[in-house]
Amino acid sequence: MPPAPAAAPAFESSLGHPTFASIGFFFLIILVTLVITWWAARKTRTSSEYYAAGRSVSALQNGFALAGDYMSAASFLGISGMVALKGYDGMIYATGWLMGWPALMFLVAEPLRNLGKFTFADVVAYRLRQGPVRIAAAVGGILTTIFYTIAQMVGSGSLIALMFGMPFVLAEVLVGAVMLLYVLFGGMLATTWVQIIKAVLLLCGVTVLTGLVMSKFGFSLPALYRAANDLYPAKHLLVPGELTASPLDAISLGLALMFGLLGLPHILMRFYTVPDAKAARVSVLYATGLIGYFYVIIPIVGFGAAVLLSLKDGTGAMTTLGDKVITAFDRGGNMAAPLLAEAMWGSAFLGFIAAVAFATILAVVAGLTLAGASAYSHDIYVSVIKKGRATEEEQVKAAKIATVIFGVVAVALGIAFQGQNVAFMVGLAFAIAASANFPALLMAIVWKRFTTWGAVWSILVGGLSSVSMIVLSKTVWVDLFHFEQAIFPMKNPAIFSMTAAFAAGIVVSLLTPEPEAQKKFESEKLRTYLGVGAE
């Protein structure tokens, strides 16, 4: 039954109009998290408490916090919207987001915990000359964090504007201010608990939404698939579409998603919050389970939105299809899940989901801020400028100043990029993480002959090649700069930039042998594998 072509969607939504429920949940979340911050602030005095929650977080808590750090509003709203509009392609895309977690466990989680103190640069620089390596690794870390933050901030501003009807700039300032309160006063402990609360709320919200969708189809997945398939006969929702049109590009995207995780500073930093390598290991298993569950059920929300948001007239005939209803609110499909929540359980449930999305943004930005701040205050200020000789007070003070600077910069960049399409910046963050941060980190852990200049060149080559290839690709060169033709033919550079970073690291290391670093590699093994002397 084709709908009338240009029929305006007649879906009445309270989206964009603050309701009692949405405001209520919104303030409840802010109140609870600020109480936690007040409690955490009394336990946050030393640098180890500020950056790493005193290494007191349990494996289960860290599992939830890792999941909270990783499941951004982009994955919740974006992937459900992508499934609603494009079907199976959204499922393929969702799969890639989990694949980094097993790799993180196998390659870096335990050595990272044993060798490092607060940042991943601790591990890269462990046996190398601190100055050059720290600076290179910190720049890689800060670039990754900044691009990820811009994407989050711009997305959050439009999201809050869309859901609460709040002006963009006010939304940015509000996110920045609340997030800074968490990080500045409660440090990693408050940030961890914000992540845990957000992960629980998000998983509960999506579970309820999934249950409501399934109840409409007699709890039968095939019935849901059939309804989606039959409603959109021309779209072929159940088979692969354009996402994998180029196998090389699809593999390259997969590599960036998989190994990008292993270079995300705000994720890696979480491993220092647990007491030992065993807790780090177990926390990855919890996180993988929670995130995997999330990506298994999120397509159900997407398919459900495509079917259940369709409008019927009085006689039961279809007037507007669900995809038209969704794109009328947001062209990218980001409002599929909130609209579905409202269609299922009314504006109170929409208010809850909107508040959860807001908490999601706050939590992710708080984690990013702590990571970005530590790359400057711990890696550059304390380790390079003060040569590691800073008192506890100086370290905490530097961390707090860096936190404020990063928070202000985040808000400023969010406002500066208002209205721009910044979706590519998440891809950019993952490409830099996979190409600049991950190769150096892995080689530092496993390769005896890795050297200072090998590390610096690996980071430089990986970072510069991934950034320039993305700039020259269609996403930026054509869509943003409006040139005729992309110079780099693919969308995802990771397969080349990651290879280039490993090649640069290996070649330069072999050309600049560093016997001192090789000797230290042997003696650090007790710490890497047995945890002897780990902090």
Partner 1 sequence: MSAAPPVEASKTATELIESPDFRALVRTRWTVSFTLLGLLFVGYYGYILLVATAPGVVARRLSEAPDAITNVGLVLGIATLVFAWILTAVYVVWANRSYDPEVERLKSQLRR
- The contact set with partner 1 (CB under 8 A) reads 88, 91-92, 94-96, 98-99, 101-103, 105-107, 110, 221-222, 225-226, 229, 238-240, 244-247, 250-251, 254, 258, 278, 281-282, 284-285, 288-289, 292, 295-296, 299, 446, 522-523, 525-526, 529-532
- Measured CA distances, 442 to 85, 254, 451 (Å): 38, 18, 13
Residue with tokens 């890792």: 66
The least distance separating partner 1 from the CB of residue 118, rounded to whole angstroms, comes to 24
The least distance separating partner 1 from the CB of residue 55, rounded to whole angstroms, comes to 19
Q: Which is nearer to partner 1, 278 or 331 (CB)?
A: 278
The least distance separating partner 1 from the CB of residue 288, rounded to whole angstroms, comes to 5
400 burial level (CB within 10 Å; 0-12, 13-18, 19+): middle
Q: Which is nearer to partner 1, 177 or 532 (CB)?
A: 532
**How far apart (Å, rounded) are the C-alpha atoms in residues 68 and 54?**
20
Q: What torsion, rounded to 10 degrees, do the Cα atoms 157, 163, 167, 168 define?
A: 10
The least distance separating partner 1 from the CB of residue 47, rounded to whole angstroms, comes to 27
**How far apart (Å, rounded) are the C-alpha atoms in residues 214 and 200?**
21
241 burial level (CB within 10 Å; 0-12, 13-18, 19+): middle
The least distance separating partner 1 from the CB of residue 350, rounded to whole angstroms, comes to 28
- For 25, how many CA atoms within 13 A lie in the half-sphere containing its CB? 22
Q: Which of 1, 45, 16, 90 is nearest to 185 (CA)?
A: 45
The least distance separating partner 1 from the CB of residue 157, rounded to whole angstroms, comes to 32
Residue with tokens 């990651």: 498
Q: Which is nearer to partner 1, 107 or 348 (CB)?
A: 107
Q: Which is nearer to partner 1, 23 or 99 (CB)?
A: 99
Q: Which is nearer to partner 1, 27 or 529 (CB)?
A: 529
**How far apart (Å, rounded) are the C-alpha atoms in residues 266 and 386?**
24
The least distance separating partner 1 from the CB of residue 529, rounded to whole angstroms, comes to 6
Token pair recorded at residue 165: 């009807």
**How far apart (Å, rounded) are the C-alpha atoms in residues 101 and 209?**
25
C-alpha triplet 280, 144, 99: angle, nearest 5°: 50
Q: Is 58 helix (H, G, I), strand (E, B) or coil?
A: coil
For residues 60 and 273, the answer to whether their CB atoms sit within 8 Å is no
Helix (H) or strand (E) run with residue 288 in it: helix 277-308
Q: Which is nearer to partner 1, 212 or 228 (CB)?
A: 228
- Length of the chain (residues): 535
Q: Which is nearer to partner 1, 59 or 461 (CB)?
A: 59
The least distance separating partner 1 from the CB of residue 329, rounded to whole angstroms, comes to 27
41 burial level (CB within 10 Å; 0-12, 13-18, 19+): middle
Q: Which is nearer to partner 1, 253 or 398 (CB)?
A: 253
The least distance separating partner 1 from the CB of residue 36, rounded to whole angstroms, comes to 29
Question: Residue 403, Cβ neighbours under 10 Å: how many?
Answer: 24
* CA quadruple 516, 517, 519, 524: dihedral sign: positive
Cβ neighbors of 303 (< 8 A, separation 6 or more) are 83, 84, 87, 213, 224, 225, 228, 237
Token pair recorded at residue 214: 């399934």
The least distance separating partner 1 from the CB of residue 203, rounded to whole angstroms, comes to 15
**How far apart (Å, rounded) are the C-alpha atoms in residues 124 and 122?**
6
Residue 330, Ramachandran bin (φ over 0: left; ψ between -120 and 50: alpha; else beta)? beta
The least distance separating partner 1 from the CB of residue 526, rounded to whole angstroms, comes to 6
**How far apart (Å, rounded) are the C-alpha atoms in residues 309 and 313?**
13
The least distance separating partner 1 from the CB of residue 237, rounded to whole angstroms, comes to 10
Q: Which is nearer to partner 1, 296 or 478 (CB)?
A: 296
Q: Which is nearer to partner 1, 50 or 101 (CB)?
A: 101
Q: Which is nearer to partner 1, 216 or 281 (CB)?
A: 281
Cβ neighbors of 48 (< 8 A, separation 6 or more) are 54, 55, 118, 535
Q: Which is nearer to partner 1, 307 or 382 (CB)?
A: 307
Q: Which is nearer to partner 1, 225 or 349 (CB)?
A: 225
The least distance separating partner 1 from the CB of residue 421, rounded to whole angstroms, comes to 26
